[in-house]
Structure 1
Amino acid sequence: MAGADGAGACHRPASKAADVPCPAQSFEVPEGVKHLTSEQLDELTATFLAWFGAASTPVQRRSRGRLWIAFLMLRHGALRLGEVLALDDAADLDPVRQQVIVRGHGGREIQMPGPVMREVQGVLDDPMMFGLRGRVFRMDQGYVRRKFYERAAECSIPKEYLNPRVIRHSRAVELLRGGVPLKIVQGILGHQSMNQTASYLRFSDDDVRRIVHHYLNKETRMKTSARNAFTGRVTSVVRDGLLVEVELTTNSGLKVVSVITEESAQNLGVSTGKVMTATVKAPWVILAREENRLKTSARNRYAGKVARVNRSEIAAEVVVDLPEGTTVCALLTVESVKTLDLAPGTDILVMFKAFSVILNVE
Structure 2
Amino acid sequence: MHTIPDEDPATRHSPGASFSVPPNVKILDSVQLAELERTFRVWATDSPRRDVRESRRRILLIFLLIRHTGAKLNEILDLKAGDIDLGKRVVTVGGEERERARVVEIPDDLAEELRAALTAGGHGPEDALFRIDPAHVRRKFYEQAEACGLPREFGNPSTLRRSRSVELLRGNLPLPVVQRLLGHSTPNLTAAHLDVSEEDVHHAARRYIDRESRRRTSARNIFFGKITEILTGDIQSEVTLLTLGGLHVVSVITNASLRRMRLKVGMFVTAEIKAPWVLVAGSEGADQNSADNRLPAMVIDVSTGRINAEILLRLADGTEICSITTAASSRRLKLRSGDQAWVLFGAYCVVLNRE
Which TM-score bucket, shorter chain as reference? Answer: 0.3 to 0.5
Please say which structure displays the higher CA radius of gyration.
1
Structure 1 length normalisation: TM-score? 0.45
Structure 2 length normalisation: TM-score? 0.46
